[in-house]
């Protein structure tokens, strides 16, 4: 069964497996003890730290291992904010950061701090000028991911780091998605990453704090990991994480060429195989193994279940499912279609024939889901004369993609120039109706309050 969700967790790298098994015999003792077994464990820990630091491009004494990538992010943000509390309480993040960063920002805001979210372009990338405009005299820290976890867009970290450096503000980089592919360029100050993203074992993160960065670890102090990560080190997993990081980096150039060709094949062919599809993310500045697209008139959860039944493990950035009405914060910030979102992220051992079979199965899956939901194949013809009329579609209480499907059915029944008023209380409609209008070259006239939910106004222009 092809596994196409490496952006969530990459399969364990063979080198990680070998290192893990070997260190289970050698690295079980307390590395803080002075007897023989402890010294042996300490040598393994120091070697792992030096290997990871070499790959990251930092000093070994700047890097500590944590219990997860999320833990590294939370510790990094809290420690940097506390270390610069005399500067002020202002934090800057991008609107498309991983939830671990946004959750930390929310806690900071709840504690009396202030947070500025920098908007992104439709490709998912920030502009360095956005960070320059967000900087204030009381800015203590800025955060930016190196590459987006949902759409693969690579961020201009070096340029943003230069903007922050000129203002004397440290930049924390969440490098979880990109560290296995190459070093993070630029003058960043702090960096966090997670081993299971590059083929290491889960439960290992790393946090780098450059020398000279004011940092005050929060919570009860621990003598381990420079006081920045409490608890007994999971030494076998740390050794496996460092070994696999070095291994995947050595293979990165060759693997990038192969996976980029496969994802480019998906990116180029899906719009021709499946009608009404929007491929999202930057077409050039993106990670090699990730391609993301959204399909009109389907919900992502159903598509994922059907693909799973067909033998493919993929994920979705869309949260428009039976469990929630809130679309992905990344897709919302980008202003792209959220319904029917599919993220394909290929592991290093992906075969060409599996990609080809995916491209064969996908059109059948999407067509089947659309048929079940009653989606229109094409709008019926309508009079061409310009006329001002209003048609009301009541989709209150109906979840996506139903409001958009009803709009698509109705657009061909009204004359050119007429307005359709869609009533909906699904938060995803705020994103998907304008996106549908852009895809269909119809005029989105905005929204206005309604007795229940919101009224979305669409004018037929063609």
Alpha-helical runs (H) found in 12-156: 14-26, 36-56, 69-83, 99-110, 128-134
User: Could you tell me which residues come within 8 angstroms of residue 48 by beta carbon, excluding any fewer than 6 positions away?
Assistant: 65, 235, 238, 239, 241, 242, 243
Question: DSSP for 65-80?
Answer: EES-HHHHHHHHHHHH
Instruction: Assess whether the previous peptide bond of 401 is cis (omega < 30° from 0).
Output: yes
Closest to 64 in 3D by CA, of 74, 79, 49? 49
Q: Which residue, chain included where needed, has tokens 């070998």?
A: 18
Q: What is the Cα–Cα distance from 300 to 435, expressed in whole angstroms?
A: 16
Q: Which two tokens stand for residue 224?
A: 């381990």
Which H/E stretch holds residue 90? strand 90-94
Identify the CA nearest to 89 among candidates 139, 40, 142. Answer: 139
Helix/strand/coil for 302:
helix
The active-site residue out of 164, 320, 400, 437 is 320
Q: What is the Cα–Cα distance from 386 to 138, expressed in whole angstroms?
A: 55
d(CA 36, CA 278): 60
Give yes or no for a contact between 44 and 20, defined as CB atoms under 8 angstroms apart.
no
- Is-contact 88 113, C-beta < 8 A? no
Closest CA to 210 of 258, 263, 172: 172
Contact 422, 458 (CB under 8 A): yes
Distance CA 165, CA 189 (A): 9
Whole-number CA gyration radius for the chain:
24
Nearest to 330 by CA among 281, 297, 288, 287: 281
Among residues 114, 183, 107, the alpha carbon closest in space to that of 142 is found at 114
Partners of 344 in the β-ladder = 291
Residue 432: exposure state from Cβ atoms within 10 A (0-12, 13-18, ≥19) = buried
Q: What would the two tokens of residue 457 be?
A: 């106004």
Catalytic residue flag (residue 320): yes
Contact of 228 with 192, CB cutoff 8 Å: no
The catalytic residues are: 320
């Amino acid at each position: 069964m092809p596994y196409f969700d490496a952006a969530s967790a990459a399969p364990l790298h063979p080198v990680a497996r070998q290192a893990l098994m070997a260190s289970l015999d050698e690295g079980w003792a307390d590395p803080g003890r002075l007897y023989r077994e402890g010294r042996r464990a300490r040598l393994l820990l120091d070697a792992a730290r030096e290997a990871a630091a070499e790959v990251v491009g930092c000093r070994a004494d700047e890097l500590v291992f944590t219990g997860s990538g999320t833990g590294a992010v939370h510790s990094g943000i809290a420690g940097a904010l506390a270390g610069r509390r005399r500067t002020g309480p202002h934090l800057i993040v991008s609107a498309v950061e991983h939830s671990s960063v946004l959750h930390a920002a929310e806690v900071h805001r709840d504690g009396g701090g202030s947070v500025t979210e920098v908007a992104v372009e439709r490709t998912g990338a920030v502009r360095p000028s956005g960070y320059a405009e967000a900087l204030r005299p009381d800015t203590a820290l800025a955060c930016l991911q190196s590459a987006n976890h949902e759409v693969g867009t690579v961020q201009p970290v070096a340029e943003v780091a230069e903007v922050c450096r000129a203002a004397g503000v440290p930049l924390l980089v969440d490098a979880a998605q990109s560290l296995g592919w190459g070093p993070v360029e630029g003058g960043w100050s702090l960096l966090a990453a997670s081993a299971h993203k590059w083929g290491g074992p889960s439960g290992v993160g790393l946090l780098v704090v450059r020398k000279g960065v004011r940092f005050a670890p929060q919570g009860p102090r621990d003598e381990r990991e420079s006081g920045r990560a409490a608890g007994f080190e999971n030494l076998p997993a740390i050794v496996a994480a460092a070994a696999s990081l070095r291994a995947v980096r050595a293979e990165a150039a060759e693997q990038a060429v192969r996976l980029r060709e496969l994802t480019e094949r998906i990116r180029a062919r899906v719009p021709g195989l499946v009608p009404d599809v929007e491929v999202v993310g930057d077409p050039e500045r993106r990670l090699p193994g990730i391609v993301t697209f959204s399909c009109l008139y389907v919900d992502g959860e159903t598509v994922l279940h059907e693909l799973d039944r067909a033998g493919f493990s993929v994920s979705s950035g869309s949260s428009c499912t039976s469990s929630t009405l809130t679309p992905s914060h990344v897709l919302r910030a980008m202003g792209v279609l959220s319904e029917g979102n599919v993220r394909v992220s290929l592991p290093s051992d992906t075969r060409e024939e599996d990609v080809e079979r995916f491209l064969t199965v996908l059109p059948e899956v999407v067509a089947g889901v659309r048929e079940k939901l009653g989606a229109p194949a094409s709008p019926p013809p309508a009079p061409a004369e310009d006329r001002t009329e209003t048609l009301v579609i009541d989709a209150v209480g109906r979840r996506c993609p139903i409001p958009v499907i009803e709009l698509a059915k109705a657009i061909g029944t009204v004359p050119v120039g007429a307005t359709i008023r869609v009533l909906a209380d699904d938060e995803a409609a705020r994103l998907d109706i304008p996106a549908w209008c852009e895809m269909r070259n119809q005029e989105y006239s905005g929204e206005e309050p309604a007795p229940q939910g919101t009224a979305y106004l669409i004018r037929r222009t063609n």
